[in-house]
Chain A
Amino acid sequence: MGAPTQAIRDLSGILPILVLWGVALVILLGAPLLRRGPGSRLAAPLGGAGALGALLVLLRGSSDGFGDTLFAGAALTDTLYSSGAFVLLLGGFLSVLVAQTYLRSRDLEKPEYYAIMLLSLSGALLMMQANDLIVLFLGLELMSFGLYVLAGFARTDAKSDEAALKYFLLGALASALMLYGIMLTYGVAASTELSNVQSAVARGALKEPMGIAAALLLVIGLCFKIAAVPFHQWSPDVYEGAPTSATAFLATTAKIGAIVAFLRVCDTIAGGYHTWLPAIRAIAILSMIVGNLIAIAQTNVKRMLAYSGVAHAGYLLVAVACMGFRLMGTKGTQASILAMTGAVFYLLAYALALIGAFGVLAYLSSRDKDAQTLNDLRGLASSQPAVGYAMVLFMLSLAGIPATAGFIGKWQVFYAVLTGGDVALAVTMALTSAMGVYYYLRVVWYIVFEESAAPKPSPTGHGVEARPRAMTGVGAAITICCIATIGLGILPAAISSFLTVVR
C-alpha cells in the first residue's frame, strides 16, 4: 500500500476530528465578519453545525477497518471510541445550544467561543482515539487549553478570570505529573504505544518502582481531569466562576474524554492491577463519600453540581476499577466489558442531566442577573412550570431515581462491579447514592414547594430579550435533554446499538 492510500485511510479514521477542525478554522477565518452586525448571528449555527456534522460523520463512518490502528500505531478506532465520541459530540452540540442563548443574554458572545469549543472537542476525540500515550497527552492538552480559555471567557468578571487562572495553573500541574508518568512509562516499556506498554506490563514492568510510579502518575493526571478526591479542589471554584454555558461544556467534555481515556489506559495496564487497583478503589470511595457529603452544605447550585460531579467521578471510577478485573477469570473479563458499556451510558445520562441543569440556569440568566443559587430557583414550578419541572427531572436523573437515564447508568455500573465481585465498591455506591438524594431533593424542594421570592418577574426580562426564550437554543437543549433523559430511562435498549462496547 502506497503512502497516499495509507494516508487517506488514516485521515478517514479521524474524519470527525477533521470536520471539527475545518469548521473551527472557518469560524476563525470569518471572525472579523462574525464579530458584529448581522454576521454575529451566524457564529452559533456554525458551531452547532460543526458538532452536529462531526456526529453525523461519526455515525455514517464505515465500520470496516474498525479496531485497526491509524498513523502507524498512533491512533485507533474501536467501539469504545465510537460510543464515547457519540456521547461527547452530542454533549458538544447541546452545549452550543446552551451557549447561544446564554452568551447573547449575558452580552459575551464572540465567534471565538464556538471555535474554541470545537477545537476542545477535537482534543477530547483525539484522547479517546489515542493508541499512544503521547497522542493521548496531546489530545488532553488540546482539550484542556480550550477549556481554560472558555472558563475565563467573561473577561471583565473577576470570578471568571479567577476560575480560568486556577484551572490553568492546577491543570498544568496535573499535566506535568502525567507527562512525568508517560516519561517513566517510556523508561520501563521503551515505548509509549499502548500495545507495547501492555506487553511490557505482561512481562512484569509494574513490579519495579519505576513502573509503579509511572502507572500511578498516569492515574493521578487523569483523576485531576475528572475531579476525583483529592484532586478535586479546583472544580467548585471553576464551576462557579466560569460562565454557565462554559461550565456545562467543560464539566461534560472533560469528564467524557478523560473517562474514556482512563478506561483505555487501565485496560492496557490491567495485567499489573495490584499496583493501581487499590489506589483507584480508594480514590473512588473517597470521591463518592466526600463529594456527596460536601454537596449537602452548598447553597450555590453551580458549586453543588461541582461537588456532585466529584461524587459522579467516584461512581465512574468504580467502572474504571472494573478494568482491573479483566484478567481475573471469565467473570472478571465480563465485568470489564460491562463496565465499559456502563460507563459510556453513565456518561451519556450524566451529560444530558448536567447540560440540562446548567441549561436551566442559563435560561434563567439575563444581562443583569446570573442565576446560580437555590434562591434563584425558588418557586420555579409555579412561575415557569415547564422549566421548573425540567430541572426537577434533571435532579432526579442525577440522583439516580428509576425511570430516568441516570438510574440505568448507575445500575449498569453497579451490575458490572458486582459481576466483578467487588462488593465493597458496590455497597459504597449504593449507600452514597442514597446520601446524594438529599441534596438533589433540596433543589426539587426549592423549585416545587417554596414560594417564589420576587412577586412575579415580567416575562420580558429586562428589556434586552423581548422574544420568548423557549424558542431559543437553550430551550431546544432543555427539551432534548428532557426527552432523552426520560426516553433512555424507560427504554435504554433503544440506543444500545450505538453505545455497546465490544472487544
Chain B
Amino acid sequence: MLGRYIPLLVAVVIAAIIAGAMVVGSLILGPKKPTRFKETTYECGMTPVGSARDRFPIRFYLVAMLFIIFDVETVFLYPWAVTFELGSRAERMFLLTEMGIFVGILLIAYFYVVGTGSLEWGTEDDASSKALGKAKAARPPIRFGNENSGPVSLPSGARKAA
C-alpha cells in the first residue's frame, strides 16, 4: 500500500539533492575574498552584534508589514494577467470588473493606512514619534557599522575573526 507514496519520496529526495547541490556548489565554486565586514552577518543594515534587547522603533515593523501585505497582493495580478488573454470579450469585461473590485479594496486599505497616519514617520505632535525620539536618545552609541554610521569600532570578537 505504501507503494503509492514512492513518487512523494522521490520528490523529497530530488528536492534535497538540488538544495544540497546549490549550497555545496557555491561553497566550492565561489571566489573567497574575506574582509572583516564580509565576515559579519548581514542584517538589513542593522547592527548584528550587541544586546539582543535593543529597542527598535515599532514603526519599522509596521511599515515592513504593510509593505509585505501590498507586495503579496501584487502577486495575484500575475495569474490574472495570464488568464485574461484567454477569455472571450464578455469574459474579459467580467475579469476586468473583478480585478477592479480587488484593486478597489486594496485602495481602500491604502486610504485606511494613510488616513490613520500609519505611514507618517516622526512629525512632532505624534505621540509615538515622541516615543521614538526618546528611544533614539536612549540608544547606546553605535559600535558597528551600517552605511551612514561613520567611523566604527569593531567589537573584539569581530576583530579577531578579521
Contacts and interface: CB of A to CB of B under 8 A. Distances in A.
Contacts of B115: 29, 31-32
A493 interface: no
B56 interface: no
A4 interface: yes
B72 interface: no
A28 B94 contact: no
Given A32-B116, A208-B1, A4 B94 contact: yes
B90 A4 contact: yes
Nearest to A110: B116
Contacts of A7: 94
Contact of A3 (B90, B108, B109, B111): B90
Interface string B112-147: 100111000000000000000000000000000000
A282 interface: no
Interface residues of A, number: 11
A294 interface: no
A279 interface: no
B90 A29 contact: no
Nearest to B5: A210
Please indicate which of the listed interface residues B91, B111, B112 has the most CB atoms of chain A within 10 Å of its own CB: B112
- Decide if the interface of chain A is mainly helix, strand, loop or mixed: helix
Interface in A27-41: 28-29, 31-32, 35
B105 A3 contact: no
Contacts of A4: 90, 94
Nearest to B91: A3
A116 to B, nearest CB: 12
Interface residues of B, number: 12
Contacts of A29: 108, 111-112, 115
Interface string A32-58: 100100000000000000000000000
A35 B1 CA distance: 61
A31 B90 CA distance: 37
B90 A28 contact: no
Given A25-B105, A208-B1, A3 B112 contact: no
A2 interface: yes
A23 to B, nearest CB: 12
Contact of B108 (A2, A28, A35, A208): A28
A208 B109 CA distance: 46
Contacts of A28: 108-109, 112
A32 B90 CA distance: 39
A25 B91 CA distance: 27
B94 A31 contact: no
A51 B49 CA distance: 52
A29 B110 CA distance: 9
Interface string B88-107: 00110010000000000100
Contact of A2 (B90, B109, B111): B90
Nearest to B98: A7
A31 B112 contact: yes
A2 B89 CA distance: 12
Contacts of B117: 32
Nearest to A35: B116
B69 to A, nearest CB: 13
B56 to A, nearest CB: 18
B137 to A, nearest CB: 23
A35 B115 CA distance: 11
A81 B94 CA distance: 28
Nearest to B109: A28
Contacts of B108: 25, 28-29
Interface string B77-97: 000000000000011001000
A208 B115 CA distance: 55
Nearest to B93: A4
Contacts of A31: 112, 115-116
Interface string B34-67: 0000000000000000000000000000000000
Given A29-B108, A31-B112, A31-B115, A3 B1 contact: no
A377 B94 CA distance: 58
Interface in B17-47: none
Contacts of B94: 3-4, 7
Most buried by A among B105, B111, B117: B111
A92 B35 CA distance: 62
A223 to B, nearest CB: 28
A31 B1 CA distance: 58
Nearest to A115: B112
A109 to B, nearest CB: 15
B120 to A, nearest CB: 12
A42 to B, nearest CB: 15
Contacts of B112: 28-29, 31
Contacts of B111: 29
Contacts of B91: 3
A459 to B, nearest CB: 35
User: Quick one: which of A28, A31, A35, A208 has the most chain B CB within 10 A?
Assistant: A28
Contacts of A35: 116
B12 to A, nearest CB: 15
A28 B113 CA distance: 9
Contacts of A25: 105, 108
A2 B1 CA distance: 46
Top 3 A-B pairs, shortest CB-CB distance: A32-B115, A28-B112, A3-B94
Interface of A: 2-4, 7, 25, 28-29, 31-32, 35, 208
5 contacts: A28-B109, A28-B112, A31-B115, A32-B115, A208-B1
Given A29-B115, A32-B117, 10 more contacts: A2-B90, A3-B90, A25-B105, A25-B108, A28-B112, A29-B112, A31-B115, A31-B116, A32-B116, A208-B1
